[in-house]
Structure 1
């Protein structure tokens, strides 16, 4: 289980790159869902976006820390 990642001599917690990766993945998924019109069917689109981000972040954490 890696706890820290060294980038150019700076130690970063492992969760920071995972969070940035999940933000990028969620941005792509958000763009796809927005262009397909699926957000019009959601009761609260902002809540759906937040839940997607939490699910993606959780999935990345589970794959790393198994």
Structure 2
């Protein structure tokens, strides 16, 4: 005779394993270190500053 298993526990264990696999895949796809995020923020801030400095002043409405 085979070993008796609790199907509820087996389903939960399988779901945990699948969730763990999915989480590992997401960490590989989307995970970035804090240093990478900070470096990207610095680059983004530099680009924003450059663009803001290059804007032309538009005339105020009502003033010729």
Return the TM-score normalized by structure 2: 0.39
Structure number with the higher strand fraction is 1
Return the TM-score normalized by structure 1: 0.38
**Taking CA–CA contacts closer than 8 Å with sequence separation of 6 or more, which of the two structures ends up with the larger relative contact order?**
1
Larger Rg computed on CA atoms: 2
